[in-house]
Chains A and B, each alone.
Chain A
Amino acid sequence: MEEAILEVKELNIEFHDHELPETVVSDLSFTLHKGEILGIVGESGSGKSMTALAIAGLLSRKDMEKRGEILFRGQNLLQCDRNMLRSFQGDEISMIFQEPMTSLNPVKKIGWQVEESLRIHHKELSKEECRKKALDILEGCELKPEVYDMYPHELSGGMRQRVMIASAMICDPEILIADEPTTALDVTIQEQIIHLLLKLNRKKHTSILFISHDLSLVRRLCENVIVMQHGVMVEQGSAEEIFAEPREDYTKVLTGSIPKVVLTEERRERLLRSLASGTSKTDPRQPLVKTDHLYSYYRQYGKGKVRKVGVLKDVSFEIRPGQVFGLVGESGSGKSTLAKALTGIVKDTKGEIVRPENGFAMIFQDPAGSLNPAKKVGWLLMEPLRIRGIRDKKEMQQRAIRMLEKVGLSAEYMDRYPNELSGGQRQRVCIGIALMQEATVLIADEPVSALDVTVQAQILKLLKDLKKEMDLSILFISHDLRVVYNMCDYVMIMKKGEIVEQARRDKIYFTPKQQYTKDLLNAAGLGDLSITNEIDQEK
């Protein structure tokens, strides 16, 4: 084992902004070694981000109490004075954050921001030397030198996160703290950022503290892992151990909540047979939803003329009764536009759209944002009934209560406001509202992306149960291939408004044809499941 760089001893963080002090981190101890990548995993409220901020010296609220020791270079970062702390910040201990879109100053040039740590900590360097170093580190982070003179809004999310990494690495810090650095990014971009972090770790021997809720990501990146829950360390060990043989119950729940992607022997046989015969069974029933060579456009105003810009290009697909249709794509793939075109929100389309008789009901990604905060749950649940002209108050209430029970809540939630519910409960309410509309097809747009893994597993199970019980068809939009595998029968992959590939689920996952599908599977850590090679060998 290499020497210890950072030692955290019995760290306690308490908030005193309410009557009773609230403990967000309690008795946390761990050691970060030179060149190590240490992962801290936990769900929201586990205290993982608080720990990261405390180490970076960014927790300085007056209503907070920090006890214990954070030892770096023989100094206790919790006790040493601000000047000493600042001399480490950006120079020896750097941090990158979750939101690359907002973590950079919007009115300053990229070069200026990347060089800032140099200007603060290495005053001896001339302007030219700073510039040279900045250009070097930008190149090291696989960015073009032109970026130096650009502003943040001119860059994509992935590029901005590279800029953040460049600005954090410019002084060759001992420790890089990465707080959910890829959560806001697309999977393929996420993969590139992870590779970049690994490269920097190997080249510069920087120790990385990697904070994440994404277990499969931590497993691929980190050597050692700390699992946290409610501010307490639950388990600590090598990543392989923790994922292969979790000792603690919570770790078991956590690892068990990751949707599994496995091909059973039976399904493998079936897949091989259908591949051999070259035909697949088609459902004789009429499709509920269908598009035929669908194109969609939006109007771009500017420079005096209006341009029609194509979003969807030649999209044809069908959803059969009872099917869970998975739609996978990164941002800009047109998956949300497709949902909007189906529901009629996007009107500028060309091509036939067949819609189900009683329309669509929708569930969105952000349950907090899609519920009116000024209305009680009961009122929200009854709204679809009111819109349909039902006036009988008793009947409406009864139906709302029955729906609450259906989505796993109880009658007492009728009088609660959305902000009194947890994220998972809110999403349950959203599902309830959607089902109250009595549509045959449910469009679920990233319904679990904003939720913690354990909650995510519960909501997915609920959706599956309801689907069976009420004979629903679902258009399930997601970027998460593991979740899609668990939910869907049929999968369609989109990129830049076009269909890349669509087929039965197992075909997509185990015998992907298109390179883009393979890239997506690789980024999700599912690349080695492909049996295409085996099939070729058998032939």
Chain B
Amino acid sequence: MRDVIRKLASMILTLLIVSFLVFLAFDLIPGDPAIAKLGTQATPEQVASLRAEWGLDRPFLIRYFDWLFSFVRGDMGYSYHFDRAVTELLSGKILITVTLVIMAFVMIVSVSIPMGIFAARHQGGALDKSIMVSNQLLMAIPPFFSGILITFLFGVGLSFFKPGSFVSYTQNFGGFLFYMIFPALAVAIPKIAMCVKLLRSSILEQWPMDYVRTAYSRGNRTMQVLYRHVLRNAMIPVVTFLGMTLADMVAGSIIIEKVFNIPGIGQILIKCIEYRDYPTVEAVVMLIAFLVVFVNFMVDIIYRILDPRMRQSS
């Protein structure tokens, strides 16, 4: 329990450091949001007054702490470009991106774990070999390309969905979920391939271990040895991978949102970088950082549950 509290503290510290670096970075990048808003034709007086209005003329540290405290209170700042509160701007989009990531993650877990077990069980067999070969292929396909392929196959070819016509969840929640299956699949495919490969080799690595022989000597069936003894040990590296994948997918979804024309965080992030809408960009980066740190925290917790040896050390 004390370990968990210590982990939480270090998580908060990490986030503080990240927030400072993010804020600093956007302060140092050349380019003035006021000029970006007013255009190059604006007079210096106009720019100065807008900067004063936005509070950009105050010293750096004051601006940082001001931003940080309002962020903690749930106020992510004001979008220069869209003239709206960032919180309001993002609230609808976050749900879309989170849905995409969660759907992809569920696909990864529910497909790759049984498939990895199957491949390991039939190691060297024809099915295992074909799984491994197709894995090799799928791993090499970047999500945006598999996105295009899926659009072509399921959208244009089989007409399962209408390419590019995003269904808003406010209008039709079922339709929204159905539309999201396809981008989620595009994100998930290469990760599934990697995860199958990892789990398979992790199981096969456990198989010659002494404790497996012990388990057999007690009269366990092969399936019992696999599920009661080997799987939990073999899952330890897979959990690390899944954690990294989850964080990676949030960033990776930006491109896939473009391919499937989904108005999620990714789309807005690209626009805001274009318009130097720093408050929004900062907010998105902070959200992603929070997610990454949180996922790492969860991975640590799951690690402790899976592997008792981890509970003592540290």
Q: Which residues of A contact B (CB under 8 A)?
A: 56, 58, 86-91, 94-95, 97, 99, 102-108, 116-117, 120-121, 151, 153-154, 164, 167-168, 302
Which one of B210, B213, B309 lies within 8 Å of A153 (CB-CB)?
A: B309
What size tier do the contact residues of chain B reach? 20 to 34
Q: Are A86 and B221 in contact (CB under 8 A)?
A: yes
Q: Are B308 and A107 in contact (CB under 8 A)?
A: yes
Q: Are A107 and B213 in contact (CB under 8 A)?
A: no
Pick 23 A–B contacts, CB within 8 A, sort by A: A58-B216, A58-B217, A87-B219, A90-B219, A91-B219, A94-B217, A97-B210, A102-B209, A102-B211, A103-B210, A103-B211, A105-B215, A105-B233, A106-B211, A106-B308, A106-B309, A107-B232, A107-B309, A117-B218, A117-B219, A151-B308, A151-B309, A167-B214
Q: Are A95 and B308 in contact (CB under 8 A)?
A: no
Residues in chain A near residue B233, CB distance under 8 A: 105-107
Residues in chain B near residue A86, CB distance under 8 A: 219-221
Residues in chain B near residue A97, CB distance under 8 A: 210, 213-214
- In the complex, A102→B219 CA distance in Å? 19
Q: Are B221 and A104 in contact (CB under 8 A)?
A: no
* CB nearest to A91 among chain B residues: B219
Segment 190-241 of B: residues with Cβ below 8 Å from A: 209-211, 213-221, 224, 229, 232-233
Q: Does B85 contact A (CB under 8 A)?
A: no
Residues in chain B near residue A154, CB distance under 8 A: 312
Q: Are A107 and B215 in contact (CB under 8 A)?
A: no
Most chain-B CB neighbours within 10 Å: which of A90, A104, A164, A167? A90
Residues in chain B near residue A103, CB distance under 8 A: 210-211, 213-214
Q: Are B306 and A107 in contact (CB under 8 A)?
A: yes
Residues in chain A near residue B218, CB distance under 8 A: 89-90, 94, 116-117, 120, 167
Which one of A58, A89, A105, A121 lies within 8 Å of B211 (CB-CB)?
A: A105
Report the minimal beta-carbon distance from A351 to chain B, rounded to whole angstroms.
Answer: 32
Q: Does B307 contact A (CB under 8 A)?
A: yes
Known: A108-B229, A153-B308. A102 touches B221 (CB 8 A): no
Residues in chain A near residue B232, CB distance under 8 A: 107-108
Report the minimal beta-carbon distance from B9 to chain A, rounded to whole angstroms.
Answer: 12
Known: A105-B229, A107-B233. A89 touches B210 (CB 8 A): no
- In the complex, A58→B224 CA distance in Å? 15
Residues in chain A near residue B210, CB distance under 8 A: 97, 99, 102-103
* CB nearest to A98 among chain B residues: B210
- In the complex, A89→B306 CA distance in Å? 28
Q: Are A107 and B216 in contact (CB under 8 A)?
A: no
Q: Beyond the given A106-B233, A106-B307, A167-B218, could you list 7 further A-B residue pairs with CB under 8 A, ordered by the A residue number?
A: A89-B217, A91-B219, A97-B214, A102-B210, A105-B211, A107-B308, A167-B214
Residues in chain B near residue A107, CB distance under 8 A: 232-233, 306-309
- In the complex, A168→B215 CA distance in Å? 11
Report the minimal beta-carbon distance from B197 to chain A, rounded to whole angstroms.
Answer: 23
Query: Considering the complex of A and B, which 8 residue pairs feature the smallest CB-CB distances, nearest first?
Result: A90-B218, A89-B219, A90-B219, A151-B308, A102-B210, A105-B211, A103-B210, A95-B217
Known: A105-B229, A108-B229, A153-B309. A164 touches B214 (CB 8 A): yes
- In the complex, A90→B306 CA distance in Å? 26
Residues in chain B near residue A121, CB distance under 8 A: 219
- In the complex, A485→B218 CA distance in Å? 42
- In the complex, A349→B123 CA distance in Å? 53
* CB nearest to B211 among chain A residues: A105
- In the complex, A270→B200 CA distance in Å? 68
* CB nearest to B216 among chain A residues: A58
Report the minimal beta-carbon distance from A174 to chain B, rounded to whole angstroms.
Answer: 14
- In the complex, A302→B216 CA distance in Å? 39
Which one of A90, A106, A108 lies within 8 Å of B217 (CB-CB)?
A: A90
* CB nearest to A100 among chain B residues: B210
Report the minimal beta-carbon distance from B258 to chain A, rounded to whole angstroms.
Answer: 43
Residues in chain B near residue A105, CB distance under 8 A: 211, 214-215, 229, 233
- In the complex, A120→B224 CA distance in Å? 10
* CB nearest to A99 among chain B residues: B210
- In the complex, A41→B215 CA distance in Å? 26
- In the complex, A121→B306 CA distance in Å? 27
Report the minimal beta-carbon distance from B217 to chain A, rounded to whole angstroms.
Answer: 4
- In the complex, A94→B209 CA distance in Å? 18
Most chain-B CB neighbours within 10 Å: which of A58, A107, A117? A107
- In the complex, A103→B216 CA distance in Å? 11
* CB nearest to B311 among chain A residues: A151
Residues in chain B near residue A87, CB distance under 8 A: 219
Report the minimal beta-carbon distance from B230 to chain A, rounded to whole angstroms.
Answer: 9
- In the complex, A98→B274 CA distance in Å? 66
Residues in chain B near residue A164, CB distance under 8 A: 214
* CB nearest to A150 among chain B residues: B308
- In the complex, A90→B219 CA distance in Å? 6
Residues in chain B near residue A94, CB distance under 8 A: 217-218
Report the minimal beta-carbon distance from A299 to chain B, rounded to whole angstroms.
Answer: 16
Residues in chain A near residue B306, CB distance under 8 A: 107
* CB nearest to A53 among chain B residues: B213
Report the minimal beta-carbon distance from A6 to chain B, rounded to whole angstroms.
Answer: 16
Report the minimal beta-carbon distance from A529 to chain B, rounded to whole angstroms.
Answer: 37
Residues in chain B near residue A99, CB distance under 8 A: 210
- In the complex, A192→B314 CA distance in Å? 34
Known: A105-B229, A107-B306, A151-B308. A58 touches B213 (CB 8 A): yes
- Chain B, residues 95-121, CB within 8 Å of chain A (1/0): the string is 000000000000000000000000000
Report the minimal beta-carbon distance from B140 to chain A, rounded to whole angstroms.
Answer: 32
- In the complex, A168→B220 CA distance in Å? 13
Q: Are B214 and A104 in contact (CB under 8 A)?
A: yes
- In the complex, A95→B270 CA distance in Å? 64
Residues in chain A near residue B314, CB distance under 8 A: 302
Report the minimal beta-carbon distance from B162 to chain A, rounded to whole angstroms.
Answer: 48
- In the complex, A94→B214 CA distance in Å? 9
- Chain B, residues 240-256, CB within 8 Å of chain A (1/0): the string is 00000000000000000
Report the minimal beta-carbon distance from B308 to chain A, rounded to whole angstroms.
Answer: 4
Segment 290-314 of B: residues with Cβ below 8 Å from A: 306-309, 312, 314
- In the complex, A242→B239 CA distance in Å? 56
* CB nearest to A95 among chain B residues: B217
- In the complex, A89→B314 CA distance in Å? 40
Report the minimal beta-carbon distance from B203 to chain A, rounded to whole angstroms.
Answer: 14
- In the complex, A168→B218 CA distance in Å? 8
- In the complex, A102→B210 CA distance in Å? 6
Residues in chain A near residue B214, CB distance under 8 A: 95, 97, 103-105, 164, 167
